[in-house]
Amino acid sequence: MIDLPSHRTWSRGGTRPVLALHCSLAHAGAWAALANELSGVTLTAIDQPGHGRAPDWDGQGDLHGLYTAQAAQMAEHLAGGQPIDIFGHSYGATVAMRLALERPDLVRSLLLVEPSIFAAARGTRAFADFEATHLPFQRLLDQGRIAEAAALFQTQWGAGEPLATLPAALQAYIIARVPLLAAKNPYLAEDRAALLHAGRLEAIKVPVLLAGGTESPKVAGAIIEALALRLPNAHRVTVAGARHMLPITHARELAPFVQAHLDAC
């Protein structure tokens, strides 16, 4: 028996497989709202390392690469080695991009919801603003003030509710996983996986839907703009009133764009 990553599956009236990769501090269930708005697909979401029901990360090696390898394993399982539609949100979207670069044989299309590859926006005012807000967060992490760091992160990248207003169990879940963000930063702010190197994005020929929210941090929009200029088959959509967690908070508004993207592929 294949030892697959922990996952959840939603059958939406069709056998066409979709693999979904969630954002940091969430779990596979974060895709439930969007999955339930789609039709003609069977969507499977995996828990990234250290999240949901996945084992804790041991702190060794390439965390981004581990998530990518697990995504490739599940994609191969779901579609028998044939190309599959891949959804990614935030950190999960950067993994989807890496999968498209390293295993193009497995990717039929991409949905990238506010990919957090911050390095793509380097040199813009939005990136400078991001750095200014990220430094206090990193300082709190370095000082071991994890709960304060989590509260600041939630303010910047959450759904709009302060951390203190969330259920106690959810607060504890988020706080416990915030230290993992330090291991992810080199892949996002410094592009350690070389996603942005010359010619790489241009090599992704599959249809790509880039989605963002009007109320998200400005750097999210700057990233999408930078990626749209380089991805040869990309289409951009913006969901009015949505923040960074739009697959959860604005699934109904996002779904028609995603369904149209799938139907056209």
Chain segment 12-71, per-residue pLDDT in tens: 999 999 999 999 999 999 999 999 999 999 999 999 999 999 999 998 889 999 999 999
H-type alpha helices, the chain: 32-35, 63-79, 91-102, 125-142, 146-157, 168-177, 180-188, 218-230, 246-249, 251-264
Q: What is the mean pLDDT of the chain?
A: 95
Three-state DSSP at 215 gives coil
Both tokens assigned to 47: 């828990």
Quote the distance between the C-alpha of residue 116 and its chain's center: 7
pLDDT of residue 109: 98
The domain defined by 7-123+188-264 folds into: Rossmann fold (3.40.50)
| Helix 146-157 / helix 168-177 crossing angle, nearest 10 deg | 100
Domain boundaries, the chain: 7-123+188-264, 125-181
* pLDDT tens digits along 155-170: 999 988 999 999 999 9
pTM of the model: 0.96
**How many angstroms separate the CA atoms of 140 and 128, rounded?**
19
pLDDT of residue 60: 87
Whole-number Cα distances in Å, 254 to 115, 116, 177, 245, 258: 16, 18, 27, 11, 7
pLDDT tens for residues 106-127?
A: 999 999 999 999 999 999 999 9
